[in-house]
Amino acid sequence: MKFFVLIMISVMIIVPTAFTQDSKILSTSFYSASLERNIPVKIYQPADYSDTGNPYRLYVYLHGAAGSVNWDYAGFMKPILDRLIQNGEIDPLLVAFPVITFKTVHGKAIAYDLHFYADSERNGKYASVITQDLLEWLTTYYNLTTRREERGIGGFSMGAAACVPIAIRNNDKFIACIAHDGQASVKSNFFDLPALFTETPGPPYNYNINNGFYSMVWFGFAAAYSPNLAKPNMPEWLVDFPIDTQGNVIDSVFNRWMINFDPATMLQNPDIYKNDIAIYIDATSGERRYNDILDTELSALGIPHTYWVIEGAHGIYEETEEAGLRFLDAAMDAAVSKVVYDQDIQILSAPACITALNMFSNRDFKPQARVKNTGKEDQYGVSISCRIDKDGKIEYSDTFVLDTLKANQFVDIHFREWSRQKSPETLNMMIVSELDQDENKNNDTLSTTIEISNRVDDFESGFYKWTSETGWGISNQMPHLGEFCLEDKPFFSYDNNADTWAIYNDSFDFSQLKQAHLTFWT
């Protein structure tokens, strides 16, 4: 028979497993100086989120208008995020879902929360609440990156229409925008002029916000895009309406909309568009005509983007949200890979052999890490520190000084020996590079856990603890608990009458024990 072996040493001690924190949705609020009120926000926090270590990526998701303001976007997206992160398809990230209802500053209120996330002298600063107040609050209270290369913004419907111009105007803060079933092109709004005229018989047309849904939407656009507190052409509403009483477009108002809020127009303005933005757009079949025009305009400008149309009614769909998250992750990865700093020291990894220790092993334990100079300049006298603690109490600390670390060179650091405990426990280890002039603080720290237990090996981290000259190796054919096991000649038939062996490289100290039991599975 073939032997699939998972070996454990047991001394009648219950071994604790490493603590794993599930993902969660946090409901909280932040104060917006721009709107002078508290704004509710839901936060998706990935599993095993930590306030220390490498900062997390950020995705800001903007809700739609009308009834969709109060949809549970966070609850809908949580299982999608969990699955993609757990499967390693996207990196862990924090997602913020602000809930920003409309409260007018000047003039009469407009229903359906149609603020369009625009800074308006009439409505208030609904863009600044995102690009200033929310970002500042998030980076103050959460372990988040401040790099544009790892921040994205997206949304649904009204949120989709707004996230594209917001990302373009704030291209120093975001790397990508993810627009789900929105109406981002200003020109596309004019597809609805016949519906507006139907609600307002004429000419001459007597536009009134109470005439119907499309009238409400158009007044919402005007309040967001062309407010006028001094001499508006619609004094009752303090807006410049873009259509005259004969149904003609008023060029001065239309141009104002285009210059400040139309993506294709903004992308051609070098004073606005200084950094590339990755653009993702999807649309349901019913909303397609509003998005086809932006797809055509972006293609004509040579702006790389992704556009996807699916069958269905206006709404959010699992497949499009998943596609948007994959796109965002890929855009972030691509942007990060392009950034090269003059001075940048990175803690690459800690080997698996130091994160799972047997409490009876006689092997000397020296914390290790791989360090790389990813910057352009050679570095001298770089300090790398290691700290091990349990519940905040420091158990071990050491500092290693690298005399020279050339550009693009990596080295393996071995710290001094640590006299570890001979009992099962889980500790925290943090390894930090200390370079005062480091221009990228996002990769300076590596945080991991060390599990000390009575386990000899579960073979999840390779074959490094063993020696064999007779063909034993790691296989995934018949694991006991995890994904791997030890097998004689993996994926091949064993030899008849064979004497095969695999020897564990370490010895054990059982001098303080009355008895020991060996347990293994075949």
More reliable by pLDDT, 251 or 463: 251
Is 497 domain-assigned? no
The more confidently predicted of residues 7 and 377 is 377
Same domain membership, residue 298 and residue 237: no
125 and 270, same structural domain? Answer: yes
Number of Cβ atoms within 10 Å of the Cβ of 146: 14
With a pLDDT cut of 90, the percent of the chain lying above it is 54
Q: Residue 108 domain-assigned?
A: yes
- Per-residue tokens: 91: 């990196």
Domain residues for the domain of 351 are 345-453
- What is residue 42's predicted lDDT score, i.e. its pLDDT? 96
Token code pair at residue 126: 């609904």
Give 84's pLDDT tier (boundaries 50, 70, 90): very high
Q: Which of 106-120, 134-148, 345-359, 427-441 has the lowest mean pLDDT?
A: 345-359
Tell me how many domains the chain contains.
Answer: 3
Alpha-helix runs per DSSP H in 142-212: 158-169, 193-199
Residue-wise pLDDT for 239-297, tens only, equals 999 999 999 999 999 999 999 999 999 999 989 998 899 999 999 998 999 999 999 99
Q: How high is the pLDDT of residue 10?
A: 38
pLDDT higher than threshold 90 for residue 79? yes
Q: How far apart are CA 266 and CA 263, in angstroms?
A: 5
DSSP string, 347-388: EEE--GGGTEEETTB-S----EEEEEE-SSS-EEEEEEEEEE
Residue 425 lies in a domain: yes
**pLDDT tens per residue, range 35-59:** 999 999 999 999 989 998 889 999 9
CA angle 27, 130, 445 (to 5 degrees): 75
Q: pLDDT higher for 329 or 421?
A: 329
| Tens digit of each residue's pLDDT (9 = 90 or more) over 191-220 | 889 999 999 988 999 999 899 999 999 999
Is the pLDDT score of 469 beyond 90? Answer: no
Give the pLDDT confidence score for residue 266 in this predicted structure: 95
**Omega within 30 of 0 (cis) for the link into 165:** no
Ramachandran sector of residue 128 (left: φ over 0; alpha: ψ -120 to 50; beta: rest): alpha
Query: CA–CA separation, 483 vs 53, rounded Å?
Result: 27
Mean pLDDT along residues 66-74: 81
Reduced to 3 states, what is the DSSP secondary structure of residue 288?
Answer: helix
> Residue 383 maps to which CATH number?
2.60.40.10
Same domain, yes or no: 179 and 223: no
Between 104 and 315, residue with greater pLDDT: 315
Q: Which DSSP letter does residue 268 get?
A: T
84 with 70, same domain?
yes
pLDDT confidence bin for 13, thresholds 50/70/90: very low
**Residue 4 covered by a domain:** no
pLDDT given at position 40: 95
Range with the lowest mean pLDDT among 73-82, 177-186, 458-467? 458-467
Clarify whether residues 136 and 160 are in a common domain: yes
Residues 171 and 300 reside in one and the same domain: yes
Residue 292's CATH number: 3.40.50.1820
Query: What is d(CA 456, CA 356) in angstroms, rounded to the nearest whole number?
Result: 9
Q: Would 470 be classed as within a structural domain? A: no
pTM for this predicted structure: 0.66
Q: Tokens 């004429």 sit at which residue?
A: 202
One domain for residues 275 and 229: no
How would residue 500 be classed by pLDDT, with cut points 50, 70 and 90?
confident
pLDDT at 46: 96
Mean pLDDT (the chain) is 84
Do 283 and 150 fall within a single domain? Answer: yes
Distance CA 164, CA 184 (A): 7
Are both 378 and 234 inside the same structural domain?
no
- Where is 25: in which H helix or E strand? strand 24-32
Backbone angles phi, psi at 162, to 5 degrees: -85, -30
Claim to verify: residue 381 and residue 326 sit in the same structural domain:
no
pLDDT for position 327: 97
Q: Are residues 140 and 65 part of one domain?
A: yes
- Listed range (262-266, 382-386, 509-513, 515-519) with the worst mean pLDDT: 509-513
Identify the domain boundary among 261, 294, 322.
261
Query: If pLDDT is split at 50, 70 and 90, which confidence band does 12 have?
Result: very low
462: in domain:
no
For residues 132, 138, 144, 150, the Cα torsion angle rounded to the nearest 10 degrees is -40
Structure tokens at 493: 């038939």
- Reading the block at residue 124, the tokens are 């208030």
Burial of 160 per CB tally in 10 Å (0-12, 13-18, 19+): buried
Tell me which DSSP letter residue 132 carries.
I
Q: What is the pLDDT of residue 8?
A: 39
* H/E element, 451: strand 445-453
* Number of alpha carbons in the 13 Å side-chain half-sphere of residue 241: 23
| Domain final residue, candidates 283, 310, 338 | 338
Same domain, 45 and 88: yes
The last residue of one of the domains, among 219, 243, 261, is 261
The answer to whether residue 420 scores a pLDDT higher than 80 is no
pLDDT over 70 percentage in the chain: 80
Residue 125 covered by a domain: yes
CA distances from 520 to 325, 339, 383, 422 (A): 42, 49, 43, 22
Structural domain contains residue 293: yes
pLDDT at 336 over 90: no
Q: How many Å apart are CA 174 and CA 186, to the nearest integer?
A: 21
pLDDT score of 467 more than 90: no
For the record, the structure tokens of 236 come out as 């009752």
